Amino acid sequence: MSGAGDVGPVPSGGERGGYELRVTSYELTILRLVTRNSYFVTRLRKLLIGAAAALLLAGCAESPTYMTSSGAAGSREAALGWTLTIISCAVVALVAVLLVWGLARRRESGTGVSEGREGVSWIYYGGVLMPIVVLLFAFTYSTVTLTGLHHPPGEPKVHVEVIGHRWWWEMKYLDGAPEGVFYTANELHIPVGVPVHLDLRSADVIHSFWVPKLAGKTDLAPGSENSMWIEAKEPGVYLGECAEFCGLQHAHMQFRVVAESPRQYAAWLADQRAPARVPSEPDEKRGEQVFANAPCAGCHTIRGTDAEGKVGPDLTHVGSRLTLGAGILPNTPGHMAGWIASSQAIKPGSYMPTIYLKPAELQTLVSYLQSLR
Amino acid sequence: MATTAAELPLDERLSRIWETRPGLLGALSSVDHKTIGKRYLVTAFVFLILGGVEALVMRVQLAHGALGILSPEEYDQLFTMHGVTMLFLYASPILSGFSNYLWPLMLGSRDMAYPRMNALSYWVFLLSGIFLYSSFLVGHAPDGGWFAYAPLTEELFSPGVDLDFYALGLTFLGISTTVGAVNFIVTLARTRAPGMSLNRLPIFMYGTLTVSVSILFAMPPLTVACIFLFFDRQFGTHFYQAAFGGSPMLWQHLFWIFGHPWVYIVVLPAMGMVSDIIPTFCRRPLVGYTFVALATVSTGLLGFGVWVHHMFATGLPTMTLSFFSAASTIITIPSAVAVFAWLATIWYGRPWFTASFLFMAGFVVLFVIGGVSGVMTAAVPFDWQLTDSYFVVAHLHYVLAGINVFPVIGGIYYWFPKMSGRMLSERLGKWNFWTMFVGLNVLFFPMHILGMLGMPRRVYTYPVGLGWDTWNLVETIGAFLFAVGVLLFIINVAWSRAFGDRAGVNPWNAPSLEWSIPSPPPVYNVAVIPTVASRHPLWEPELIGEQKSRIHEGPTLTDGRETMATTTLDAQPLAVLRMPGDSYWPLLLALSLAAFFYGALLGWWWLIGVGAAATFVSITGWLWPEPPAEEA
Amino acid sequence: MATATTTRSLPVGLRGKASPAFWGMALLIVNEASFFAYLLFSYFYLAAVAHGAWPPGGRPELKLAIPNTVILLVSSGTMWWAESGVRKGRMGRLKLGLLITFVLGVIFLAIQGVEYASKPFGLRADAYSSLFYTITGFHGAHVAVGLLMNLVVQVWVWRGLVTPTRRQAVTNIAWYWHFVDVVWLAVFTTLYLSPYFGLR
């Protein structure tokens, strides 16, 4: 499985990763940065080989196209979209035929200028009547769709606040008792077949919430209280993107929507509400110490520990997530180490600083974070 | 008549009156509309090349996913300056260049109504372009996108001078645009040849007139928006800051109230050129002249009622969305009228396949593709998917490259013989057309597909494996093909300028007045002010059997720089208009304004003061009246 | 129809409302009016989306603004008086009228300055204060430009460059001055009166 935005199988339990892998100059930069440690060189070599394999598979991957939709709203938008596309192609074809025919048709010879009264009816029929008929149809269809999408098909059972940050997404699950409210990042889990209400907020500039396979986009702007609803009709992992230019790393502000069965969703919810898992292995325990001593806790929260930073994503269950760095790297130990050690090479300008750690420290830190399922 | 004492022939006398002093100093003071028009064309074309090079660099970066040729900082500056350059420094000024050069010739007039303001508008255009591009020298070009949405562009998120260049540069350029618009309106109202009533104007003039009126109402919201932004950034005001009671949406409303009319401002004159050139090469008058003229004007008017369709995804109420969706749908009808007028003109005419005509015919297809994709974005629910995706990038490039660049290049093929006295190579021209036509479609058509595949716009790179790579590579190839086409055009112009065939007075057997005078035109344009009796003065012998318009007899006006003033509606003679001569004041005023804007940019109050004082001195000196002694 | 092969019957130069000079001023006024319309649009837009009270600090004081409005309206009258003077050939009336208009304009700006000093908030307090100072500031700048025009034309009048037959400059600056007054009425109604009408 290599598609990021496609309707892939829902990852279960321990099988994770395998989202898009990228052979990039970043990886080479990482390589250079951590050459000192042969452990990492080996890891990265393996990774590069894996990435090359993934590239070969990439051709088969599906795009997050909205012309075929897995969402309740997206399907109606796609139906409208296909209708408009077909009408548009027909109009272009008509004009092209009339033009080419008009250019090529035989005429009586002569080069003089002459005035004919003919032709004005073209304007009546082609320029006025035809557009009125076509546009009236298109506008009616579009308006019916618009009003139909105003309300979700049923009462939303799930309420999430999506907060756009430069350059990552924060999801705040609002349902249940106040103590059950929790934050996660760059990943929106929703139950299939249920409308989900999203409150869209921005922490800084304007972003736009877009899951092409599920629904059209809506902006998150400071000072406005937008909301939208989405509903996935089929289980799967869907690529989400920021669609409003928001600065340097606009290109790397992605997320995943994981649509799963209500039972799986309930289990996920229960897991996420729990505080962070207490480390058991010695490596993980040392990693926890590293986390506490490094600047990490200044920005990140791990519920159940002293780390209560509010700048970056909540890491309470970071080990359970599919991706890192706002949807751009698969969440594997190797990528996580690379991300921590050279975030500025991977995502230049992001607010995650490059953290300078001894290789052994980095390794234990990754072990700890990966254990936070 | 013949009040000058000299026994010189008429053309000699007129030349002496209208000539600009030779040398650099003379050139800096020239107010000749032909000189200014050519300067506009060349300068705008240089900006087209700059914007094009920026685009090519971006296309290389995007040829495949996850390339690292450009850093995000570089990419953001490039795409912002590409947009700013193409929309502000190329698309509108190039059309001003055509209008400046052609209007007095088409009107049978000796110059524009305000020759000195004409010079001013050029100098301000040039200096504001330099102002905007000087941002590259300090490595801080604007990087917030050409529509620079607040609050991303506020100082908190964009520290440094980048966006100050943008806010001040566009305010500065707005002066040029506004001054030019006023000039066109009054020129059209006052200096038409006798008999050239409003229903005898070339459609091109309707296009420029419509956009000139639009500019008077469309530039101020941009100026207000930019001033607010600058104040927010430099003086700590809170217009766009939600936390202090401002609103980021205020920027969007102001910007798009300007922005959508602006789209029509950069296409209507170009569409007008098409409406005038197609009939020439189809050997018959335009079908439905009145409809096309009315369509042009009504597009300009309706253009003010559709701005919200750029904001469909911002969370506005459904009622608002429906209203603006309807308005955006209706505005299609005038365009459809124009398309079928062109089609019918070709159908019932006898096409003459020159390079210029090929550009016009190719344009019709591009126009329709750009038009229908616009209708698709007017359908709100589907626009929620399309907006800010590559589909919109495809749409706007079909509009700008298709509806602006194609008529512009075709227009140069058409009017270059008049401007230079030499023909462009037809053979090279046909190569030029096909490379550009194929290149444009290979470049921009796949963008529709990429949009539908979910690719967002304004990303400096994208993940591999989403099915986007191949189409992006195709686009990059198309971009270079298109660039080859532009290169062929430059070669053609450079070669033909020196070695092209002599053009003669009217190489295309065209109907309008600019083709009644020598190529290139003499400094005084017309030796006699013509009197016009029909819409096609030079086609009268063929259309109605006799030459009713009087082209070569009429008043000569040799008592100084003079032209004929006529009434606004039906162009009856009103007075002889005294025209000002060459002057340095326009250049001085433009430099003063530049000093003011650089002062504001740098926060140097002394320079702001010097600029303001010099502006006052320049305007006062410019307007200082002659002593009234000889009036008695 | 008149084909005018001869231009002897035609006057040289255009005066009054047909002249390019007047058209230029008229179009400048149209452009500037639209500039102020968008400034006021911004005011109403931010008022409409405001969460708290609008204006945040309560309704604005009128005790300086009303007399100041009267002063500006009177100055429009004196400008008209001056301009009709030159039309009738009374240069003395023109000189006196321009001078009085000038002085009234200066008083208007001075009172505006006093009002600025008495405001409890500065430019940076919030969006309302930004709007208040920016809009009145731009209007004040236009008054100042009108005063400069007035000054230059006074110089021309004293040097004999303006005569009853060459009075386009006076007409133009008079129109500009009336325009600045009309804009003030719009600004005054928006910023000072609309809060009293319950328009937020």
Under DSSP, is residue A349 helix (H, G, I), strand (E, B) or coil? coil
Q: Residue B165, Cβ neighbours under 10 Å: how many?
A: 24
Query: Which of A249, A256, A254 has the alpha carbon at shortest distance from A345?
Result: A249
Distances (CA, A) of C4 to B310, B385, B528, B547: 52, 62, 11, 17
User: How would you classify the pairing of strands A226-230 and A236-242?
Assistant: unpaired
The chain B residue lying nearest C35, using CA atoms, is B220
Distance between CA atoms of residues B455 and B449, nearest Å: 9
Distance between CA atoms of residues B337 and B353, nearest Å: 24
Contact indicator for B290, B198 with CB cutoff of 8 Å:
no
Q: Which residue has the tokens 């040289």?
A: C12
Along chain A (373 residues), what's the average pLDDT of each consecutive run of 10 residues? 38 37 44 46 54 46 86 96 96 97 86 81 95 96 94 93 96 92 96 96 96 96 94 96 96 96 96 93 93 91 92 95 94 94 93 91 95 92
- Report pLDDT digits (tens) over B218-227: 999 999 999 9
Query: Which of B510, B269, B302, B547 has the alpha carbon at shortest distance from B408?
Result: B269
Predicted pLDDT at C111: 97
Contact indicator for B437, A99 with CB cutoff of 8 Å:
no
Report residue C8's pLDDT band, with 50, 70 and 90 as the boundaries.
low
Predicted pLDDT at A18: 34
Flag if B372 and A91 touch (Cβ within 8 Å). Answer: yes
CB contacts, 8 Å: A102 with chain B: 343, 346-347, 351
Give A318's contacts (C-beta < 8 A, 6+ positions apart).
A331, A369, A372
Q: Is A140 on the interface with B (CB under 8 A)?
A: no
Burial of residue B548, with CB atoms counted within 10 A of its CB: 0-12 exposed, 13-18 middle, 19 or more buried: middle
Whether the per-residue pLDDT at B632 is higher than 90: the answer is no
Report residue B397's pLDDT band, with 50, 70 and 90 as the boundaries.
very high
Distance between CA atoms of residues B476 and C89, nearest Å: 72
Under DSSP, is residue A241 helix (H, G, I), strand (E, B) or coil? strand
Give A222's contacts (C-beta < 8 A, 6+ positions apart).
A202, A203, A204, A205, A206, B151, B242, B243, B248
Predicted pLDDT at C51: 87
Predicted pLDDT at A20: 39
Length of chain C: 200
Predicted pLDDT at B201: 96
Predicted pLDDT at A48: 56
Predicted pLDDT at C10: 85
Chain B closest-CA separation from residue C7 CA (Å): 6
The chain A residue lying nearest B312, using CA atoms, is A218
Which residue from B224, B555, B628 is facing C7, i.e. has the nearest CB? B555
Whether the per-residue pLDDT at B255 is higher than 80: the answer is yes
Contact indicator for B132, B169 with CB cutoff of 8 Å:
yes
Which residue from B76, B246, B381 is facing A76, i.e. has the nearest CB? B381
Q: What is the DSSP letter of A187?
A: E
B120 or A115: which carries more pLDDT confidence? B120
Which residue from C2, C10, C133 is facing B576, i.e. has the nearest CB? C10
Burial of residue A52, with CB atoms counted within 10 A of its CB: 0-12 exposed, 13-18 middle, 19 or more buried: exposed
Q: Is the dihedral of CA C96, C102, C103, C105 positive or negative?
A: positive
User: Encoding tokens for residue B5?
Assistant: 């004492």
CB contacts, 8 Å: B149 with chain A: 205-206, 244-245
Partners of A207 in the beta sheet? A220
The amino acid that residue A240 corresponds to is G
Distance between CA atoms of residues B576 and B559, nearest Å: 10
Whether the per-residue pLDDT at B106 is higher than 50: the answer is yes
Distance between CA atoms of residues B431 and B409, nearest Å: 13
CB contacts, 8 Å: C133 with chain B: 237
Percent above pLDDT 70 for chain B: 98
Flag if C46 and B247 touch (Cβ within 8 Å). Answer: yes
Predicted pLDDT at B324: 94
Q: Rounded to a whole number, what is the distance in angstroms from the first to the last CA of chain C?
A: 59
Report residue B628's pLDDT band, with 50, 70 and 90 as the boundaries.
confident
ipTM: 0.95
- Report pLDDT digits (tens) over B375-387: 999 999 999 999 9
Flag if A348 and B71 touch (Cβ within 8 Å). Answer: yes
Flag if C27 and B185 touch (Cβ within 8 Å). Answer: yes
Residues 24-63 of chain B with CB under 8 A from chain A are none
Mean pLDDT of B452-479: 95
Whether the per-residue pLDDT at B604 is higher than 50: the answer is yes
Most B CBs within 10 Å: which of A67, A85, A123, as the mutation test of the B interface? Answer: A123
Q: ∠ CA A309-A353-A40 to the nearest 5 degrees?
A: 115
Predicted pLDDT at C198: 74
Mean pLDDT of B603-617: 97
User: Encoding tokens for residue B209?
Assistant: 């007139």
Whether the per-residue pLDDT at B69 is higher than 50: the answer is yes
Chain A with chain B: Cβ pairs closer than 8 A: 316
Q: Which residue has the tokens 């600029």?
A: B611
Q: Is B460 on the interface with A (CB under 8 A)?
A: yes
Predicted pLDDT at A118: 82
Residues 6-25 of chain B with CB under 8 A from chain A are none
Distance between CA atoms of residues B539 and A113, nearest Å: 7
Flag if C12 and B620 touch (Cβ within 8 Å). Answer: no
Beta strands in B278-407 (DSSP E): none
Whether the per-residue pLDDT at C1 is higher than 60: the answer is no
Predicted pLDDT at B1: 43
Distance between CA atoms of residues A19 and A5, nearest Å: 9
Most B CBs within 10 Å: which of C5, C9, C36, C49, as the mutation test of the B interface? Answer: C5
Q: Residue C31, Cβ neighbours under 10 Å: how many?
A: 20
Which residue from C24, C35, C152 is facing B182, i.e. has the nearest CB? C24
Mean pLDDT of B489-508: 96
CB contacts, 8 Å: B285 with chain A: 115
Predicted pLDDT at A49: 54
Predicted pLDDT at A21: 37
Strand order in the sheet with A187-191: A187-191, A254-260, A236-242, A207-211, A215-220
Indicate the average pLDDT of chain B: 94
Contact indicator for C168, C19 with CB cutoff of 8 Å:
yes
Under DSSP, is residue B549 helix (H, G, I), strand (E, B) or coil? coil
Q: What is the DSSP letter of A67?
A: S
Percent above pLDDT 90 for chain B: 92
Mean pLDDT of B589-594: 98
Distance between CA atoms of residues A69 and A215, nearest Å: 8
Residue A224 has phi, psi (to 5 degrees) of -110, 150
Residue A220 has phi, psi (to 5 degrees) of -110, 110
Residue B573 has phi, psi (to 5 degrees) of -60, 140
Beta strands in chain A (DSSP E): 158-165, 168-173, 182-185, 187-191, 196-202, 207-211, 215-220, 226-230, 236-242, 254-260, 323-324, 329-330
Predicted pLDDT at A35: 42
Query: Which of B542, B621, B598, B526 has the alpha carbon at shortest distance from B194?
Result: B526
Burial of residue A359, with CB atoms counted within 10 A of its CB: 0-12 exposed, 13-18 middle, 19 or more buried: middle
Mean pLDDT of C38-57: 93
Distance between CA atoms of residues B501 and A359, nearest Å: 75
CB contacts, 8 Å: B237 with chain C: 123-124, 127, 130, 133-134
Q: Which residue has the tokens 């309560």?
A: C58
CB contacts, 8 Å: B253 with chain C: 45
- Report pLDDT digits (tens) over B552-584: 888 988 888 999 999 998 999 999 998 999 999
Contact indicator for C167, C87 with CB cutoff of 8 Å:
yes
Q: Rounded to a whole number, what is the distance in angstroms from the first to the last CA of chain A?
A: 22
Distance between CA atoms of residues A317 and A222, nearest Å: 28
Report residue B3's pLDDT band, with 50, 70 and 90 as the boundaries.
very low
Residues 182-241 of chain A with CB under 8 A from chain B are 200, 204-206, 208, 210, 212-213, 215-219, 221-224, 226-227, 239, 241
Identify the chains in contact with C, defined as 3+ C-beta pairs within 8 A. B
Mean pLDDT of C35-61: 93
Flag if A113 and B72 touch (Cβ within 8 Å). Answer: no
Distances (CA, A) of C177 to B588, B589, B618, C182: 26, 23, 21, 9
Distance between CA atoms of residues B278 and B351, nearest Å: 8
Report residue B627's pLDDT band, with 50, 70 and 90 as the boundaries.
confident
- Report pLDDT digits (tens) over C94-134: 999 999 999 999 999 999 999 999 999 999 999 999 999 99
- Report pLDDT digits (tens) over A170-197: 999 999 889 899 999 999 999 999 999 9
Predicted pLDDT at A31: 41
